[in-house]
Amino acid sequence: MLADAASVITALRDGVLLGIQFNPLFAVVTAALAAAAWGYPKARRDRRWQGVLVIAVGWLAGDGLRILARARDYLDASATYVAAGLPVWPGWTNLAVWAFVSLAVGYAAPAVVGGSVGRRVTHGTGWLAAGAMAVALTLAISAGVGALS
């Protein structure tokens, strides 16, 4: 039981550590475009879906394909783990946390914050303020993570 708890903690910790090291180039562009789509105060409802699509494609190009490649490698190696009697769930937990944290911290959160700021601008440049805020927040998170690593 104690070994399982240690495995869960290790898998979660490693997933978070990998997730906060997102690709800043793709994250900046993706968050700025999505925030600009959301940041216009009088934007139509379909702008939300456009922003979600931009985030999904940007994350997939920036970090998602790398995570999917690791998942494929782990799937190939999981037969060896099963044959040795080792659990395979810690690796899948690690990959899931890595994907979720990189998507949430690097891409979605800056876009949502930027979009929120852009909707509160009253003089017609909400999309510009939204994009600028998303870029600044993404770079601040990336620099903070880089300083801590």
Strand runs (DSSP E) across the chain, as ranges?
none
Q: Summarize pLDDT for 8-54 with one digit per residue, the tens.
A: 899 999 999 999 999 999 999 999 999 999 887 777 777 788 899 99
Q: Looking at residue 2, what is its pLDDT?
A: 63
Q: Summarize pLDDT for 43-77 with one digit per residue, the tens.
A: 777 778 889 999 999 999 999 999 999 999 999 98
* 6 pLDDT higher than 80: yes
* 149 pLDDT higher than 80: no
CB-side neighbour CA atoms (13 Å) of 140: 8
DSSP H helix total and E strand total for the chain: 7, 0
Q: Summarize pLDDT for 99-141 with one digit per residue, the tens.
A: 999 999 999 999 999 999 988 887 778 889 999 999 999 999 9
In the three-class reduction of DSSP (H, G, I as helix; E, B as strand; rest coil), residue 60 is classed as helix
Q: Looking at residue 48, what is its pLDDT?
A: 82
pTM of the model: 0.89
Q: What is the CA radius of gyration of the chain?
A: 18
